[in-house]
Amino acid sequence: MSIVQKMKGGELGTPDHTKFFNALAQLADIAAKDGNGLVCVAQTDALFVIEEANQAAASGMSRTVRFEIQDGDGNIQLWYNGTGTITPTENCTDADIGIPVISGGNDVDFVDGVCEVEMVMDTDAGVSKTYADGDYVTLAIAIPDVLGVAVDDSDTFVFTADDVIELVAIPLEGSPSATQANAAGAGSFRRHVKLEFQDADGNVLTWMDDNDVTLTPSENVTDADVGAPTIIGGSPVTVPAGGVGSYDFTYDTDAGATKTYAEDDYVTITPAAEDVGTITPGVTGATVEDTFVA
């Protein structure tokens, strides 16, 4: 129930009637303000990788789309509890791909100025429907006039295919200490690194399945006796389903007997992820370079 619906009009000339009339006048002013009145804006975690669509089973890929009724300053209109009609369309190279489906139907209701819908893409695990870079789908929404003023719904939502997969490494500790390394026995100075597959917006690609990442360790240490780090369990390591994994490595240490680390020495773990369909993941954020502090 909207704010206006909760108010009572009252008898003509009474304080209640005056408040009611003023509220209506304010809403009408918002709707038509300087030709920059109400707009319907779509928001979502829209970005998707082509291979996500191509690997998804039938009805296996969806996104939540949030529509907001806003004024010209971007404020959500909490008083609005109207309706809207969504029209999905597709512009895909593959003629077998159909329009997305809105779960629950294309006619939607707004509550306090907001409506959320689930959009399900037309997929079949790449059997006959293949998405390509530049393909897109659109959700257009039509909103009835508010107090005789049209709602600007030209800000329709375009859902564009993207072919970016990025592997990111997140060491779970700070910089290593040369003093600690020099006191550590063989294989006892260990580091843990988290791996994530992300899209271009930094969202974790939870749809990713097992992916083997080859890790190549190297060292740049003053002491020639110090070797490269060792990957625990060997390389490659598998990032499991869900797009998030990890690995551990140890520095080459011997409690300072013959191997000594110094400040500004460093070691590097360079990754290479296997292809995902037709996409080779980027690794610009995945190389671990550990520089020793004193």
Q: Write out pLDDT tens, residues 46-59.
A: 678 889 999 899 99
- Please report, for residues 17, 38, 78, the alpha-carbon distance to residue 71 in angstroms, rounded to integers and kept in the order given: 25, 5, 11
Q: Pick from 145, 162, 179: which residue ends a domain? A: 162
Does residue 1 have a pLDDT over 50?
no
Pair 138, 158: CB distance under 8 Å = yes
Cβ atoms within 10 Å of 181's Cβ, excluding its own: 25
92 and 56 in one domain? yes
- Please report, for residues 56, 57, 205, 252, the alpha-carbon distance to residue 124 in angstroms, rounded to integers and kept in the order given: 6, 5, 19, 49
DSSP 78: T
Pair 276, 202: CB distance under 8 Å = no
Q: Which residues of 110-147 are buried (b: 16+ CB within 10 A; e: fewer)?
A: beebbbebebbbbbbeeeebbbeeebebbbbbebeebe
118 and 77 in one domain? yes
118 and 15 in one domain? yes
> Tokens standing for 212?
């083997």
215 and 150 in one domain? no
Question: What total of structural domains would you count in the chain?
Answer: 2
Q: Pick from 111, 140, 162: which residue ends a domain? A: 162
190 and 65 in one domain? no
Single-letter code of the amino acid located at 5: Q
173 and 154 in one domain? no
Rounded mean pLDDT, 212-239: 97
The string of pLDDT tens digits covering residues 21-47 is 455 555 555 555 554 578 898 887 667
67 and 128 in one domain? yes
173 and 143 in one domain? no
Name which residue leads in pLDDT, 278 or 253: 253
Does residue 102 have a pLDDT over 90?
yes
Q: What is the pTM of this model?
A: 0.75
pLDDT at res. 131:
92
171 and 283 in one domain? yes
261 and 136 in one domain? no
Specify the CATH number for the domain of residue 196.
2.60.40.10
Of 24-28, 122-126, 199-203, 279-283, minimum mean pLDDT range: 24-28
Angle at 13 between CA 9 and CA 14, to 5 degrees: 60
Tell me if residue 26 falls in helix, strand or coil: helix
179 and 145 in one domain? no
Single-letter code of the amino acid located at 95: A
**By residue range, what is the domain housing residue 179?**
166-291
pLDDT at res. 79:
86
